[in-house]
Amino acid sequence: MIRLYGQAFEFEKREEIKNNRISDEAIELEQIKEDFNLCMNNWFSKSKKLEPVIDLYLTINYHRTSLERHFLNLVQALEAYHRLTKINHVLPKKEHTARIQSIVSSLPEEHQKWVKDSLAFSNEPRLHDRMEELLTPAVKTKSPDFEAKYYHLFRLPNKEKIDIIRDIKNTRNYNTHFDEKLLRKSLKGEELFQLVLLLKAMIEFYLLTELEIDEEIVLNSTWDKVNRIDTRNSIIEATRSSNVSMW
């Protein structure tokens, strides 16, 4: 049984339907009508596997909480997505086991168990590695226009990819462990808000890709979202330089 939740409209009042749209709508039904069955089949076949990712993503729209909590949920959603869909080891299992054995056997016996336990998850990609891969989406269609958009897709104003990864790590670590040494390095306010917008665009991009929606539609939609962050930043900088208040 499929349950539908939403507002009822009189079908004849098409203008009423047209004007009642979610403000941050990603893809319109009209755009995927040719691939609708494929999208639905993908949803039903993948939604269970990706449920942790979807649940964390939905908190951004349906849970009223702090900006820091939204940030943590989105980072966790991206980590979970990477874990569920990408290669989740650094070395082949046998090679990693041999490496651990080499390290442990060289230690005094009283320290071996502690070190072995500490290295239990050392073959998993670090947050840095996961973000590195997710911030660099794979190009599917080989064309100069597509390749250029993919290369510049997930960026923030005046920041390179390595800067974004550093900000994600520092802000995540501070808001998880509250180490005072990381307080100054963690993002707050407008900078954090823009990072949250970027992370939200990233998870939407990957979820839409899982549905196999037309590549150009997903790419252009994501490109527009990220460009709006740049536009927002430009407006803020302009108001600051002219001493004009936005409020």
Residue 207 has pLDDT above 50, yes or no: yes
Show which of 104, 124, 144 is a domain's final residue: 124
Percent of residues, the chain, with pLDDT higher than 70: 87
Same domain, 184 and 76: yes
Same domain, 63 and 167: yes
> Is position 52 within any domain?
yes
Rounded CA separation 127/178 (Å): 18
Same domain, 112 and 215: no
Question: pLDDT tens digit string along 215-239?
Answer: 999 999 999 999 999 999 999 888 8
Length of the chain: 247
Structural domain harbouring 106: 90-124
Is residue 123 helix, strand or coil? Answer: coil
Structure tokens at 104: 């442990």
Same domain, 82 and 158: yes
Structure tokens at 159: 């920041």
Residue 2 has pLDDT above 50, yes or no: no
Same domain, 225 and 119: no
Handedness of CA 85, 151, 32, 71 (dihedral sign): positive
How does the average pLDDT of the chain come out, rounded?
Answer: 87
> Is position 12 within any domain?
no
Same domain, 193 and 177: yes
pTM over 0.85: no
Question: pLDDT tens digit string along 62-88?
Answer: 878 899 999 999 999 999 999 999 989
Same domain, 116 and 139: no
Look at the chain and report how many structural domains it folds into.
Answer: 2
Rounded CA separation 104/209 (Å): 42
> Is position 22 within any domain?
no
Question: pLDDT tens digit string along 152-199?
Answer: 999 999 999 999 999 999 999 999 999 999 999 999 999 999 999 999
pLDDT category, 244, cuts 50, 70, 90? low
The per-residue pLDDT for 144 is 87
Show which of 76, 106, 124 is a domain's final residue: 124
DSSP code per residue over 143-198: -HHHHHHHHTSS-BTTB-HHHHHHHHHHHHHHHHH--GGGTTTS--HHHHHHHHHH
> Is position 76 within any domain?
yes
> Is position 172 within any domain?
yes
Same domain, 210 and 117: no
Q: Cβ of 168: how many Cβ atoms within 10 Å?
A: 23
Rounded CA separation 170/69 (Å): 15
Same domain, 60 and 80: yes
Rounded CA separation 85/99 (Å): 26
Cβ 218 vs Cβ 205: under 8 Å: yes
> Is position 13 within any domain?
no
Same domain, 94 and 176: no
The per-residue pLDDT for 23 is 43
